[in-house]
Amino acid sequence: MHATRRQTLALMGAAASALATPALAQSRAIKVGALRFTSHAPTFIAMERGYFAEAGLEVEPVFFQAAQPMAVAIAAGDVDYAMTSITGGLISLAQKGAVKVFGGALSEEQGIPGQSILVSGAAMEAGVTGPADLGGRRWGMTTAGSSFHYMGAKVAEAEGIGLEFVPLQKVPAVIGALRTGQVDAWAIVPHIASGLVSSGEVHEIGKIADYLPGYQVTTMFGSTANVADRELTGAWLDAMSRAIADYNATMIDQSSGEAGVQEMVSLLAPYVYPDRTVEEARGSIVAGTMRINGGAALNVASVRDQLEWFQSEGLVDSSIAFGDLVDTSYVEAVGA
């Protein structure tokens, strides 16, 4: 018999779920939204190492270009679970009862190179050497209500300065504008920041972790119906927690040394940088390391702060309650 790749995979999945005690009585097929970012490593690890299969889930990844469309895809029922930053769009959809946050993922932690505050070469020459010098300057963001907007506003608030926010729709557009000096400053995840800084056109002047310690950058969320399904969401969280533990142990605590890092990079490279070889991708993947909350714990205080900021800016309806956005019954709450 000539087995196709799909059949082989299905057989392997069946074998794996037969060996381990499946969390679900019957294997269920779900779709998971993902970005080709290092921050989505747990999804890729759980797929490659069979954690999803062992939890009784047949996962099909759906790749997106930006965080916002993932929330819309979940609301439309095209995707079951996803992991992304809290945006105004996500909160509005939660208000309409379409999506719900139930766990945390990427976090800012002092001491780990998290998101960087970058300035353009022109701004650097004009004497901007720290975030306090940014008063009245142009801060790039994708859209109003994006995480970039939130970070800029929080930095400005802490420094007591005013910023002009410039919407540019897409991350590549913001990068282009920063390089050519059309915007003065931006904050971005380390694997993009390190590449930009090493090109010499932009400079790092600070860390987001210094302004927003414990900032819950990304959260796990799903459609309200899926989040109400305790069995399914529980199975998903089990698989993801195992993958997160692997990721933190290998990449942050270096428990299995250099060999472990190398193996992890080989696993992630085809997902995060499909157009590069493992060796080419290695630097960016290692530079992109950030803490992912163990057990998908959620920093409730940070999420509450984000919701309140969106409301105070009039970006989302002020009547949205915390409980409309978050279901805290699944994971451990930290930072409350």
The least distance separating other proteins from the CB of residue 136, rounded to whole angstroms, comes to: 14
- Does 223 bind other proteins (CB under 8 A)? Our answer is no
The least distance separating other proteins from the CB of residue 165, rounded to whole angstroms, comes to: 7
The least distance separating other proteins from the CB of residue 44, rounded to whole angstroms, comes to: 27
Q: Is the dihedral of CA 50, 56, 62, 68 positive or negative?
A: negative
Distance CA 46, CA 32 (A): 12
The least distance separating other proteins from the CB of residue 146, rounded to whole angstroms, comes to: 7
The least distance separating other proteins from the CB of residue 167, rounded to whole angstroms, comes to: 7
Number of residues that this document lists for the chain: 336
Among 167, 195, 213, 294, binds other proteins (CB under 8 A): 167
**Tokens 């992890």 sit on residue:** 264
Applying CB under 8 A, which part among 66-74, 117-125, 203-211, 318-326 lies near other proteins?
Answer: 66-74
- Does 320 bind other proteins (CB under 8 A)? Our answer is no
Binding-residue pattern over the window 119 to 148 for other proteins, x denoting contact by CB under 8 A: -----------------------xxxxx--
Query: Quick one: 324 or 332, whose CB is closer to other proteins?
Result: 324
Query: Quick one: 89 or 114, whose CB is closer to other proteins?
Result: 89
Beta-bridged to residue 29, according to DSSP, are 58
In 3D space, the residue among 220, 233, 221, 243 whose CA is nearest the CA of residue 51 turns out to be 243
Among 27, 30, 36, 165, binds other proteins (CB under 8 A): 165
Query: Quick one: 72 or 333, whose CB is closer to other proteins?
Result: 72
- Does 180 bind other proteins (CB under 8 A)? Our answer is yes
The least distance separating other proteins from the CB of residue 87, rounded to whole angstroms, comes to: 7
- Does 168 bind other proteins (CB under 8 A)? Our answer is yes
Task: Classify each residue of 107-145 as buried b or exposed e, where b means 16 or more C-beta atoms within 10 Å of its C-beta.
Answer: bbbeeebbbbbbbbebbbeeebeebebbeebbbbbbbeb
* Host H or E run for residue 58: strand 57-64
Among 96, 110, 126, 263, binds other proteins (CB under 8 A): 96
- Does 218 bind other proteins (CB under 8 A)? Our answer is no
Sheet holding 218-223, edge to edge: 57-64, 28-35, 81-85, 218-223, 99-104
In 3D space, the residue among 218, 229, 223, 220 whose CA is nearest the CA of residue 75 turns out to be 223
Applying CB under 8 A, which part among 121-129, 163-171, 254-262, 267-275 lies near other proteins?
Answer: 163-171
Among 17, 39, 43, 92, binds other proteins (CB under 8 A): 92
User: Which residues, numbered 143-162, are part of the site for other proteins (CB under 8 A)?
Assistant: 143-146
Among 27, 182, 262, 266, binds other proteins (CB under 8 A): 182
Query: Quick one: 77 or 130, whose CB is closer to other proteins?
Result: 77
52: left (phi over 0), alpha (psi -120 to 50) or beta: alpha
Three-state SS at 35 = strand
Distance CA 242, CA 57 (A): 14
Cβ–Cβ < 8 Å for 325, 94: yes
102: burial class by Cβ within 10 Å (0-12, 13-18, 19+)?
buried
Three-state SS at 170 = coil
The least distance separating other proteins from the CB of residue 178, rounded to whole angstroms, comes to: 11
Cβ–Cβ < 8 Å for 300, 63: no
Query: Quick one: 72 or 112, whose CB is closer to other proteins?
Result: 72
Contact residues for other proteins, defined by CB under 8 A: 68, 71-72, 75-76, 87-89, 92-93, 96, 98, 142-146, 164-169, 173, 176-177, 180, 182-183, 315-316
